[in-house]
Amino acid sequence: MLAAPPLGDRRWSTMLLRPLLLRPLLLRPRPLPRRRDIHAENTARAAVVDSVLSAFRSICGEDGVSMGGAVREQHGRDESVHRCRPPDVVVFPRCVEEVSALAKVCHKHRLPIIPFGTGTGLEGGVGAVKGGVSFSLRNMEQILDLHQEDFDVTVEPGVTRKTLNAYLRDTGLWFPVDPGADASLCGMAATSASGTNAVRYGTMRENVVNLEVVLADGTIIHTAGKGRRPRKTSAGYNLTNLFVGSEGTLGIITKTTLRLYGIPEAMVSAVCSFPSVQAAVDSTVQILQAGVPIARIEFLDDVMIDACNKFSSLSYPVTPTLFLEFHGSERSVEEQVSTTADITQSNGGADFQWAQDVETRNQLWKARHDAWYAAQALRPGCKAYATDVCVPLSRLPQIIVETKKDLIENKLTGPIAGHVGDGNFHCLMVVDPNDPEELHSVHLFSERLARRALAMDGTCTGEHGVGLGKRALLCEEVGPMAIQLMQGLKDTLDPNNLMNPGKILLPREM
């Protein structure tokens, strides 16, 4: 399964001698590889790719291999501002055996492997920074083994969360984790996604029961044992949560067993405007302290609500706002609403604007999920980049106020939307991708924001992952010793650095 590290390989031991050098090194500007070296590397890899095409085609058919420019472009980018890094070739396996066989070919020829779900990531996770083979998993789209009585289901990587929930509609069950985009569920596991419902139902970390994973050398493993789906286990190391959030750098997730929930008898949504950020966030903390099992509690600042009003033809007051949703029995929802209304009113919140029927509720959450496009519409021709810090609840008012001041002082457009029940919020930075000065200014802003979160016991990424953009920040967040441990795990599972190279961890030379 795992190849032994070459006996003469001194990289690991050399690194051990200089843990204290790691931090200063990270702060230095990156030494750019020489253009000639890159060109030679690309030419050599292109020859290798040519030599394996027939093997790829014999595994997943003529239609299962593409080198077309448009297809490669499409698989080299996600929804972030990270520039497109197309792979050398895209393969479309139809089952885990094909994924394994393709991985074995890549392993033999030392070709990078980049798993691709729906391309809805936000941190450049699918970019082929070292070229290689993009594994598009869209043709693996079976929903397997639904166990209604046990509240679990297993899905292949081509199944998105909306497809699953449509499939489940008549069963009385649903899968609540909702990052906004209609992402692949296996991709959501790979990035440890969460979103609006996490305050009540948890993130992917809490809702993945088992994974089927193809490792770099083609070995197929089941993190909790094949077909197992107990609601809890203490059996050995927690391999499932080692792969959840590993962003394709440790293996390709080819099946995910998920925990399901009963669809609540009643769901009610409401919108509430506040005189200040502090009042909205104080309300959030008090609602949680009161033990209200709120399902969604989303904050939108004045700039964000203004953008949403314009984009979705709404007319909410342009002040800090909470979008709320309550799940439960009719009586329980009634009580949750009443407790929540008492709290918001005591903090100066306005009366609730209701969304009770399915259509109005869907409209409301569509507006929230469209915040991304609403932000982009503020500056036509520009692209959005979402920051993603998460801090303890009590630090939210301070970090949001300081961040809004920073935005104004630096003349940046960055409406704020956040899953405040978790302390997680996003500045949706709208940037002109052709203006390097502005891009640089946004980059500096997002680093300041991340460091502000780190100084408040928080994290630089609550749910988007590290990808390409936050590798240096990750080092600051967890420290050089934890980084070394992460690198050790990576080396153990993928000694040749073939699995989505260049993501999460900085290359050793940097």
Give the sign of the dihedral formed by CA 328, CA 330, CA 332, CA 334.
positive
* Binder among 234, 313, 380, 436 for a second copy (CB under 8 A): 234
Comparing CB distances to a second copy, the nearer of 156 and 388 is 388
Comparing CB distances to a second copy, the nearer of 278 and 363 is 278
Assess contact for 258 and 210: CB atoms under 8 A.
no
The nearest distance, CB 390 to a second copy, in angstroms, is 4
Comparing CB distances to a second copy, the nearer of 12 and 318 is 12
The nearest distance, CB 126 to a second copy, in angstroms, is 16
Comparing CB distances to a second copy, the nearer of 241 and 441 is 241
- CA gap 326, 292 in Å, rounded: 9
Assess contact for 301 and 408: CB atoms under 8 A.
no
- CA gap 94, 98 in Å, rounded: 6
- CA gap 272, 101 in Å, rounded: 54
Residues 128-167 that bind a second copy (CB under 8 A): 147, 149-152
The nearest distance, CB 216 to a second copy, in angstroms, is 12
Q: Residue 496 interacts with a second copy (CB under 8 A)?
A: no
* Binder among 485, 507, 508, 510 for a second copy (CB under 8 A): 485
Q: Cα 133–80–250 angle (5° rounding)?
A: 40
- CA gap 101, 66 in Å, rounded: 17
* Binder among 38, 478, 507, 510 for a second copy (CB under 8 A): 478
* Binder among 93, 423, 469, 501 for a second copy (CB under 8 A): 423
Residues 277-316 that bind a second copy (CB under 8 A): 285, 288-291, 293
The nearest distance, CB 339 to a second copy, in angstroms, is 8
Q: Residue 401 interacts with a second copy (CB under 8 A)?
A: no
* Binder among 139, 165, 219, 345 for a second copy (CB under 8 A): 219
Window of 222-230, 294-302, 400-408, 435-443 that interacts with a second copy by CB under 8 A: 222-230
First to last CA, the chain: 29
Q: Which pairs count as long-range contacts for 105-108, CB under 8 Å and 24+ apart, including other chains?
A: 105/52, 105/55, 105/56, 105/59, 106/52, 106/132, 106/133, 106/498, 107/216, 107/217, 107/218, 107/496, 107/498
x/- mask, a second copy, residues 330-369, rule CB under 8 A, reads -xx--x---x------------------------------
The nearest distance, CB 465 to a second copy, in angstroms, is 5
Phi, psi of 460 (to 5 degrees): -80, -15
Comparing CB distances to a second copy, the nearer of 55 and 341 is 341
Which residues, 6 or more positions from 240, have their beta carbon under 8 angstroms from its beta carbon? 208, 209, 210, 211, 223, 224
- CA gap 278, 387 in Å, rounded: 21
Q: Residue 494 interacts with a second copy (CB under 8 A)?
A: no
Residue from 450, 215, 182, 195 nearest 297 by CA: 195
x/- mask, a second copy, residues 95-114, rule CB under 8 A, reads --------------------
- CA gap 472, 481 in Å, rounded: 14
* Binder among 48, 95, 401, 486 for a second copy (CB under 8 A): 486
Window of 66-74, 84-92, 240-248, 309-317 that interacts with a second copy by CB under 8 A: 240-248
| Single-letter amino acid code for the residue at 174 | W
Residues 16-35 that bind a second copy (CB under 8 A): 16, 19
Comparing CB distances to a second copy, the nearer of 16 and 40 is 16
x/- mask, a second copy, residues 426-465, rule CB under 8 A, reads ----------------------------x--xxxxxxxxx
Give me the residues paired with residue 225 across strands. none
**For residue 496, what is the DSSP state?**
T
Size, binding site for a second copy by CB under 8 A: 109
Assess contact for 143 and 162: CB atoms under 8 A.
no
Give rounded-to-5 percent helix, strand, coil for the chain: 45, 20, 40
The nearest distance, CB 44 to a second copy, in angstroms, is 28
Window of 43-51, 270-278, 304-312, 469-477 that interacts with a second copy by CB under 8 A: 469-477
Comparing CB distances to a second copy, the nearer of 77 and 470 is 470
Q: Residue 387 interacts with a second copy (CB under 8 A)?
A: no
The nearest distance, CB 314 to a second copy, in angstroms, is 29
* Binder among 68, 262, 275, 507 for a second copy (CB under 8 A): 262
The nearest distance, CB 179 to a second copy, in angstroms, is 11
Which residues, 6 or more positions from 509, have their beta carbon under 8 angstroms from its beta carbon? 31
Q: Residue 417 interacts with a second copy (CB under 8 A)?
A: no
Q: Residue 226 interacts with a second copy (CB under 8 A)?
A: yes
The nearest distance, CB 305 to a second copy, in angstroms, is 24
H runs (alpha helix) in 61-87: 69-74
Residues 161-200 that bind a second copy (CB under 8 A): 172, 191-194, 198
- CA gap 465, 80 in Å, rounded: 12
Region of 502 on the Ramachandran plot (φ > 0 left; ψ -120 to 50 alpha; else beta): left
Residue from 480, 473, 354 nearest 16 by CA: 480
